[in-house]
Amino acid sequence: MKTMSPEDAARCCTLGLLLELATSPKPGLVDRLSNPDVYACFTASAVALYPCFLKAAQGTSVGDAVLCSTREMMSWQKGGNTHLGSLLLLTPIAKAAVEAGKIERLRGSLEKTLKQMDYRDLHKILKAIKMVGPGGLGKVAYLDVNNAKTYNLVKQRKTSVIEAFNPYAQWEVVAHEYCTNYQASIMHGYMFLRKRIEQEDWNTAGINTFLNILQHLPDS
């Protein structure tokens, strides 16, 4: 099996977003049979994220790549936040995949990448969250993205991304995946999907994988 190039890692992240969008029906989520205008916003922003995934795969810090992705996502369509959760999950994968080289080594590389995400990455991730203004994150301790003091405290305490997201881990998907080294994504997503595509078409396998993840990992 060939090793993973930065370009291939970025393509895989972008393709994953597009395939997920194309999978239909997905109760409660945007897909190709949903509102055409909304679907267009999601597809446009998914494609726009490729250069930022590529930067992460080429060695740019996760925080810088997340901020890049968020800006691109918001500038290429008028539907607001389309992929914040997805880009937060995929950016560390893009970075770790090149170092891993092969899928068998990805989780070990991911663990290293997650541990290396420091207060500088957190500062930029919080800026990205503030940029799109999602409603489901709430406030945990001092981490209020709308409070200027938060960013000073992050720097003073040198709070890592894992430390900051840990209080959310029981009820928010991105926090859970960061703090468990992508346990649900790998166990209930990737491994489940690999078995399904051996016996089903991509759309059916995608639907069943979506439902399997939904069953095992409730989100806010």
**Residues 9-64 pLDDT 10s:** 999 999 999 999 999 998 888 888 878 889 999 999 999 999 999 999 999 999 99
Q: What CATH class does 6-103+113-181 carry?
A: mainly alpha
The full set of domain ranges for the chain reads 6-103+113-181, 182-212
Residue ranges in 101-160 assigned as alpha helix (H): 106-116, 119-132, 148-157
CA distance 44 to 18: 10
* pLDDT for the residue 134: 56
Residue 30 contacts residue 38 (beta carbons within 8 Å): yes
- SS3 at position 143: strand
Q: What span, in angstroms and rounded, lies between the C-alpha atoms of 9 and 107?
A: 15
Q: For tokens 């916003």, name the residue.
A: 41
> Which residue carries 């003073």 as its tokens?
156
Coil, strand or helix at 140: strand
Residue 143: φ, ψ to 5°: -85, 75
Contact 158, 117 (CB under 8 A): no
Model confidence pLDDT, tens digit, residues 67-113:
999 999 999 999 999 999 999 999 999 999 999 988 889 999 999 99
